[in-house]
């Protein structure tokens, strides 16, 4: 195991109150679920409010502002959370979920509610299965995680190239690769979360909560991306 996690030293606060591993696990999945609920609710409200929907997607400035805001928030949470108070970090995660919901609304607007619900259930089942593999597998998934991360870089490059090529075949290849990559990353991130939270038991409460929040952000991103790629296969257009 590494000596520190997300910039924290698990042995630095011997006398501080601590949080047990099962409680930290529960918090991770609770916060991930709340973030998904915020994203879904925001997307629904945006779609139902025609004025808001038109204002967002008729302006390239607002759209790029949303994308930039999401990227900035993820960067701050991932690299600077040790400098933030836990309430501020939680607020930034909630704000990211809201911005993600706004951008999601443009995608969900294209599909029927029935196919969205079906895709969500398939995503939840796939995510849950891969999470169980990550939790209970005795095999070290670090090598697999590195492999899928390299594949993810390739997927991003291929997706950017296809913006110019507009190849249907390449789009479907990228979609299949996306499902495989984020399924694998879910298992890897879950195993990494288990190891990290076991170390976080030794940390001061506030630091342990911040580490748990970062774990929930990673799993949230895995779920969201898995859902988006599955939607390309299972979604029915309006």
| Mean pLDDT score, 131-149 | 92
Residues 88 and 200: beta-carbon distance below 8 Å: no
pTM, two decimal places: 0.89
pLDDT given for residue 82 in this prediction: 85
Q: Quote the CA–CA distance of 102 and 100 in Å, as a whole number.
A: 5
- Residue 5: the pLDDT is 54
13: DSSP letter: -
Q: Is the pLDDT of residue 168 over 80?
A: yes
Q: In this model, does residue 177 exceed pLDDT 50? A: yes
What rounded mean pLDDT belongs to the chain?
89
Q: Percent of the chain beyond pLDDT 70? A: 92
User: Can you tell me the mean pLDDT for 183-200?
Assistant: 93
- What percentage of the chain exceeds 90 in pLDDT? 66
Q: Which of 188, 206, 191 has the alpha carbon at shortest distance from 81?
A: 206
Per the structure block, which two tokens stand in for 144?
């697999």
What are the residue ranges spanned by the domains of the chain?
21-234
**Nearest Cα to Cα of residue 104 among 158, 57, 51, 163:** 57
What is residue 90's predicted lDDT score, i.e. its pLDDT?
A: 95
Query: pLDDT at residue 13 above 80?
Result: no
pLDDT per position as a tens digit, 195-221: 999 888 788 888 889 999 999 999 999
CB 164 within 8 A of CB 156: no
DSSP 8: B
pLDDT band at 9, cuts 50/70/90? low
Distance in angstroms (rounded) separating the CA atoms of residues 16 and 205: 7
Average pLDDT over residues 36-50: 94
């Amino acid at each position: 195991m590494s000596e520190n996690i997300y910039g924290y030293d698990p042995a630095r606060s011997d006398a501080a109150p601590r949080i047990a591993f099962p409680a930290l696990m529960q918090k991770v999945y609770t916060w991930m679920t709340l973030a998904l609920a915020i994203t879904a609710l925001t997307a629904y409200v945006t779609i139902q409010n025609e004025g808001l929907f038109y204002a967002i997607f008729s302006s390239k400035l607002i759209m790029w502002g949303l994308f930039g805001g999401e990227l900035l928030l993820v960067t701050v949470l991932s690299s600077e959370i040790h400098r933030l108070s836990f309430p501020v970090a939680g607020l930034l995660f909630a704000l990211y979920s809201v911005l993600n919901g706004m951008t999601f609304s443009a995608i969900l607007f294209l599909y029927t509610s029935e196919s969205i619900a079906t895709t969500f259930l398939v995503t939840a089942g796939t995510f849950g299965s891969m999470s169980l593999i990550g939790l209970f597998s005795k095999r070290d998934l670090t090598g697999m995680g590195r492999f899928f991360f390299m594949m993810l870089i390739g997927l991003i490059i291929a997706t950017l190239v296809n913006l110019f090529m507009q190849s249907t075949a390449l789009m479907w290849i990228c979609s299949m690769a996306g499902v495989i990559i984020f399924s694998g990353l879910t298992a890897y991130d879950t195993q990494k979360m288990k190891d990290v939270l076991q170390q976080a038991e030794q940390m001061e409460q506030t630091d342990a909560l911040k580490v748990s929040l970062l774990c929930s952000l990673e799993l949230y991103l895995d779920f969201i991306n898995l859902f988006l790629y599955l939607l390309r296969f299972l979604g029915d257009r309006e």
